[in-house]
A = this chain, B = another copy of it.
């Protein structure tokens, strides 16, 4: 990558994989902050990785993330800095908290005169869409964290990076905060490229959002804790329904396209779940090891059952719809409908009328305000995003890793997705909690 010296001070993408400290040519001594002593945060902290292989005596390569936080020297002159915020993709608890924290930090910590709100996701950059830009004042955002959703609105799908950078130039934006999923982070990378191509001094800072908690090096993603709390409420309902009728089955579908974290975590928090089905652990419906056999045994032993299924579970058993949504995600086939049909039929064939109650709490989960834990997490993400942007960093996302807030190169988080490791203590705890068979796959 080209050095920053020869391109007029353009902020550079955070380097990979060593600690991402983009060189800045003409930093301003801000004086307000002293750099944090914590120089860098180790990524892998298990002894094997730290000490390296004892046998081969090969020295280990330690990979670190740069700690987030205020910097002694900043790149942008606050009095001339204009920021912009955009929220993309599906709703997630905490969006308003992140927006609020960005606005408050920009105004109160740096006295930045203006933070713009781009409406309805990346579409808000497209003049033809006709969406107004909102001036996000401290007063405007002061209580937005008490409501779910995003005051900016959101939308799915990419937009032409050139159009976006045109808009940034036109609005004279210095720092763009993009809150969104991995599609948005990929879009952000393209915006960074376009900015570099044009030699502009615009920073792009990502704030990874995923209700599925499936973004690499983000652990857990904001809003996840709140989502689990809300999913737990629906599961408790399913349990009450299942035990309230003879042959009662409660079936709850939760979010989780490729990663079943919400299903697994809420199963752990609700001790009443008997089957937790996730995309990472394929299962069969029929056969002697299949779900129906296990469910049959449970029902005859205890008279009721609660099943929590991630929307992306068991997709191999369904015909692919082939369709994609506006974000480019493959439209999932409906595993809950399949389960419902098969379960009812299985018992019907034995002349048993089960009482299956199906609950899909997805939109309730997405739309609640953040709980206290997520509220604080989102505040820090927003504040650190502002610090990162003001320091001239670009092409990075803010995350929490090993308990510390860090800068992570944008490319790193979009290189694949986090999954439940089905060989871990974590998944084993889920299995112990549900009591379901270790595998429901016929070999």
Contacts and interface: CB of A to CB of B under 8 A. Distances in A.
Interface of A: 19, 36-42, 45-48, 50-51, 62, 64, 67, 69-70, 91, 100, 104-105, 108-109, 120, 123, 131, 142-143, 145-150, 153-155, 219, 225, 228-229, 232-234, 236-238, 240-241, 243-246, 250, 265-266, 268-269, 271, 326, 353, 357-361, 363-364, 366-368, 371-373, 375-376, 379-380, 383, 402-405, 424-425, 428-429, 432-433, 435
Say how many copies of this protein the assembly contains.
4
Contact of A91 (B62, B104, B241, B359): B241
Contact of A45 (B42, B131, B233): B42
Contacts of A244: 91, 149-150, 153-154, 367
Given A229-B372, A432-B383, A237 B268 contact: no
28 contacts: A36-B425, A37-B46, A42-B50, A45-B402, A45-B404, A50-B50, A100-B271, A123-B246, A146-B146, A146-B147, A147-B240, A154-B245, A228-B373, A228-B376, A232-B372, A237-B363, A237-B368, A238-B367, A241-B363, A241-B366, A265-B372, A268-B375, A360-B360, A364-B364, A380-B429, A402-B402, A402-B403, A403-B403
Nearest to A100: B271
B240 A149 contact: yes
A376 B39 contact: no
Given A69-B425, A150-B244, A372-B229, A41 B45 contact: yes
A271 B141 CA distance: 11
A229 to B, nearest CB: 4
A379 B433 contact: yes
A50 B43 CA distance: 11
A236 B148 contact: yes
Nearest to A39: B47
A131 B303 CA distance: 11
Nearest to A224: B373
Contacts of A376: 228, 265, 268-269
Contact of A269 (B123, B236, B372, B404): B372
Contacts of A145: 271
A386 B265 CA distance: 21
Contacts of A70: 425, 428
A120 B246 contact: yes
Nearest to A67: B46
A228 B372 contact: yes
Contact of A367 (B37, B240, B380): B240
A243 B369 CA distance: 14
B236 A367 contact: yes
Nearest to A232: B372
Contacts of A41: 45-47
Nearest to A33: B428
B234 A155 contact: no
Nearest to A404: B45
Contacts of A266: 372
B245 A153 contact: yes
Contact of A62 (B51, B271, B357): B51
Given A367-B236, A368-B237, A375 B269 contact: yes
Contact of A42 (B47, B241, B265, B364): B47
Contacts of A243: 149, 153
A195 B100 CA distance: 48
A437 to B, nearest CB: 14
A147 B36 CA distance: 38
